[in-house]
Amino acid sequence: MAANPRSAGALSYIAVERSEKQRQLHPEGIESVGELAASRIGEGFTGMVVANELLDNLSFAPVRWVDGTPHYGHVDVASGVGSPCSAGDDELVEVFLPRPERDSSYLLRGRSRYDQREAGDLIDWLRSDVFASGKILVFDYAKQRSEDVRVRTYSDHGRAGEPLIGLGTKDITIDVDLEALQQRFGPPTTTMPQAEWLANHGVSELVDEGKAIWEREAATGGLDALRAISRVREAEALCDPQGLGGFTALEWLV
């Protein structure tokens, strides 16, 4: 919205966020909804869905392979099975059980260590039921190979260790498994690091423009000049290859 492109008048911008608390933080003038139901945007939607750090946040199940059969992770209060993790007064354990009723076509046979069907189902739903034409654009931490996928926990903007310790006090997320997604949908139209995607989409021009505004208006001060010069630091953070710049940008044209 800050970029205010020439096409702005032709666009409707809808922010989708499940958490009501987060929705309340959205700025004035933004339409916020809790769910992108097909009915909300109507059939034959033409446009773009941008999922920024969403897929890592959808629920997933840990998987172990026993004699070629997937066993799915469940959490139990310690009864001597699995490896115990201390969580306050409780000892929580991960227990792996077969679930023959569960469709295992989301998994790479014998290799996947996590079942990320919710991420796959979301993309499937967008592609099959929602879009007439457009683009799905995903920014997220992702791994090219299934075996490199790991759980990541966060609290207060820092990594937060074992998922079952202090359950409820941290966000439990996961690297997006590109290999499993690719098995289902074929390769995305494009895949590249976020830093490269931003470079292709003119981040340096925006930074140069910000510097020029600052040079012109710094003397008179004002918020616009400060906002303009803060693009320099923002772009550095977004393009840092050790940080956000190393995230993956995926595009599916539909």
Ligand X SMILES: C[S@@+](CC[C@H](N)C(=O)[O-])C[C@H]1O[C@@H](n2cnc3c(N)ncnc32)[C@H](O)[C@@H]1O
Angle at 20 (CA atoms; ends 16, 26), nearest 5 degrees: 60
The smaller minimum CB distance to ligand X, of residues 87 and 119, is found at 119
Q: Taking the complex as a whole, how short is the minimal distance between the CB of residue 176 and ligand X, in angstroms?
A: 12
User: Which among 16-24, 64-72, 98-106, 228-236 is the span making contact with ligand X, rule CB under 6 A?
Assistant: 16-24
Least Å distance between CB 39 and ligand X?
Answer: 15
Residue among 41, 45, 49, 54 that touches ligand X (CB under 6 A): 54
Q: Which pair of tokens denotes residue 7? A: 């096409």
- The yes or no reply on residue 190 touching ligand X (CB under 6 A) is no
* Integer Cα distance of 211 and 17 in angstroms: 33
C-alpha 132/C-alpha 10 separation (Å) is 17
| 26 forms part of the interface with ligand X (CB under 6 A) | no
Using the rule CB under 6 A, give the single segment among 13-21, 187-195, 213-221, 237-245 that binds ligand X: 13-21
Q: Does 58 bind ligand X (CB under 6 A)?
A: yes
**22 touches ligand X by CB under 6 A:** yes
# residues near ligand X by CB under 6 A? 10
Q: Which of 1, 11, 13, 18 binds ligand X (CB under 6 A)?
A: 18
Task: Name residue, tokens 């992770």.
Answer: 73
Residues 6+ apart with CB under 8 A from 237: 243, 244
Using CB under 6 A as the binding rule, whether residue 53 contacts ligand X is answered as yes
* CA atoms of 153 and 175, how far apart (whole Å): 11
Distance CA 201, CA 192 (A): 12
Helix (H, G, I), strand (E, B) or coil at 60: coil
Interface with ligand X includes 32 (CB under 6 A)? Answer: no
Q: Binding to ligand X by residue 16, rule CB under 6 A?
A: yes
Closest CA to 89 of 158, 167, 205: 167
The CA angle 1-9-15, to the nearest 5 degrees, is: 45
Q: How far is the CB of 173 from ligand X (least distance, A)?
A: 7
Could you tell me if 33 and 15 are in contact, meaning their C-beta atoms sit under 8 angstroms apart? yes
Instruction: Name the residue nearer to ligand X (CB basis): 58 or 192.
Output: 58
Give contact residues for ligand X (rule: CB under 6 A).
16-19, 22, 52-54, 57-58
